[in-house]
Amino acid sequence: MTLEFVEYPDREMLALSLADKIAGQLSQQLRTSEQASLCVPGGTTPGPVFDTLSGTEIDWSRVTVFLNDERWVNGDHTRSNSRLLRRHLLTGKAAVARYIDLYTGEAEPEAATAALSEAIAPQLPITVLLLGMGVDMHTASLFPGAAETALALAPDAPGVMAVRSVKDEPRITLTAPVLQKAIHTHLMITGADKREALERAQSLDPKVAPIRAFLGDICVHWAE
């Protein structure tokens, strides 16, 4: 179990290098398997990585993409993570990738979890998992102290769960058993506050610092 921490001179270098690393790991998988899977966060940080990644020369037609988590809003809503992906990742060379949309249009996310768990199951283990993290140490939609987080961290958690204990809209999230088995795991964070939060998380219980559940074999990419 190793936590590798890579510090970049700036965010642009981080984006270029991380996109290159992810593309290399997907290509490596495609040399020995028919399919590869890429699971990514939404939020405000990963856009530049997606921009570079979407232009890389890999056989995207054999790659399935899905999010770590999604806000339960229409795909054209400004808070939709799918909207970010369609604009920055599922475009250019990556436009031919298969996409599993976690927002299925039902009124409530609970109605979608079983079908989504089934849709994701054939893509496991995730070939490349990219995680983000909030300054509160949440990752995916696993929030500190939330009732759902304790359930989602359990080894027998369903693959996909609805999350209600958040402000704004409800969410849907992949759970620890699915995320922890990824072949390659990266965490992308920027700014001094997130770096400090990650250091704090390393000695805390995952229920209060959910990112801690994923700090086994992981490469952390950081820039100011």
Residue nearest to ligand 6PG according to CB distances in the complex: 132
H-run or E-run covering 82: helix 81-88
DSSP per-residue string spanning 14-46 = HHHHHHHHHHHHHHHHHHHSS-EEEEE--SSSS
Among 140, 163, 174, 220, binds ligand 6PG (CB under 6 A): 140
Please give the residues from 2 up to 31 whose contact with ligand 6PG meets the rule CB under 6 A: none
For position 134 contacting ligand 6PG by CB under 6 A, the verdict is yes
Give 28 or 170: the residue with its C-beta nearer to ligand 6PG: 170
Smallest gap from residue 81 Cβ to ligand 6PG (A): 5
Check: CB of residue 152 under 8 Å from CB of residue 142: yes
Integer Cα distance of 181 and 160 in angstroms: 14
Q: Which amino acid is at 4?
A: E
Give 62 or 77: the residue with its C-beta nearer to ligand 6PG: 77
**Mask for 46-85, x = binds ligand 6PG (CB under 6 A):** ----------------------xx-x---------x----
Among 25, 54, 82, 139, binds ligand 6PG (CB under 6 A): 139
Contacting range for ligand 6PG; rule: CB under 6 A; set: 8-16, 108-116, 128-136, 178-186: 128-136
Contacting range for ligand 6PG; rule: CB under 6 A; set: 25-33, 43-51, 94-102, 214-222: 43-51
Integer Cα distance of 52 and 144 in angstroms: 32
Check: CB of residue 89 under 8 Å from CB of residue 98: no
Give 58 or 142: the residue with its C-beta nearer to ligand 6PG: 142
Question: What single-letter DSSP state applies at residue 139?
Answer: B
What's the N-to-C CA distance of the chain in angstroms? 26
Length of the chain: 224
Among 11, 16, 28, 43, binds ligand 6PG (CB under 6 A): 43
User: How many residues bind to ligand 6PG according to rule CB under 6 A?
Assistant: 14
Report in angstroms the alpha-carbon separations of 178 from 59, 152, 175, 203: 24, 10, 6, 23
Residues that bind ligand 6PG (CB under 6 A): 41-45, 68-69, 71, 81, 132-134, 139-140
